[in-house]
Amino acid sequence: GFASIVKAVMPNIVMVQATGKVKGQQYNYIGSGFIIEGNYIVTNAHVIGTNPNQITVRFESSIDEKTYMVKPVYVESGYDLAILEFTGLAKNKFSGLEHLTLRLDPAFGEEAYTVGNPKGFDFSVSKCVISNPKREYKYRDVDEVIQIDMTVNPGNSGGALLDMNNNVLGVITFYPGGINGGIAMCIPSKYIVNILNKL
């Protein structure tokens, strides 16, 4: 059932923490992320901030208890996406990892889910349906988002929107202002593909 689907994806899910400084002010951000081909970690650009001096990721403790340093490879603030990668020995350690596949065709009413870090409650599983797979919505340089009926909180950002075969449909990114729950927006996977093509 659903629990075994979630268990299968867990080795590819990370919680992201970033510290940095903007205008002399220290920041400490948390979010979610996931591993795709090439052992790249995908998250939202706003999760790592504009000037990170340290970004770390960690896995669910039953999978790996270590914390790993990662570095940004590519940040596309127009899409609110960041690609990170492991450094040093960890790069070799994770090179053989099964990775998540991107899928570009979400459907109305399809079941989906995420594993995230809402308000710092890490590795929280949330299930939803796709309310609208192609919602016209202007967000930065993105013109079309996936609308889901999930309540998201700060810390869910950067998490994978997964289908029931653990393909990545998009990235949980924001909820419209003034919403009390049940509407969240995701950057579709096609925007990740655009970035990977530049790499």
d(CA 113, CA 128): 6
- The string of pLDDT tens digits covering residues 30-77 is 999 999 988 899 999 999 999 999 999 999 999 999 999 999 999 999
Q: How far is CA 52 from CA 19, 48, 58, 82, 185, in A?
A: 6, 6, 17, 12, 25
Question: According to the model, what pLDDT value does residue 14 have?
Answer: 97
Question: According to the model, what pLDDT value does residue 93 have?
Answer: 87
Question: According to the model, what pLDDT value does residue 144 have?
Answer: 97
Q: What is the DSSP letter of 173?
A: E
Using 50, 70 and 90 to split pLDDT, how confident is the model at 180? confident
Residues annotated as part of the active site: 46, 80, 157
Average pLDDT over residues 159-182: 93
pTM, to two decimals: 0.96
Residue 181 CB neighbours (<10 A): 11
Considering the chain, what is the average pLDDT of its residues?
95
- The string of pLDDT tens digits covering residues 7-33 is 999 999 999 999 999 899 999 999 999
Is the pLDDT at 123 greater than 90, yes or no? yes
Q: How far is CA 198 from CA 83, 127, 159, 182, in A?
A: 11, 32, 22, 34
- The string of pLDDT tens digits covering residues 146-156 is 999 999 999 99
Is the pLDDT at 94 greater than 90, yes or no? no
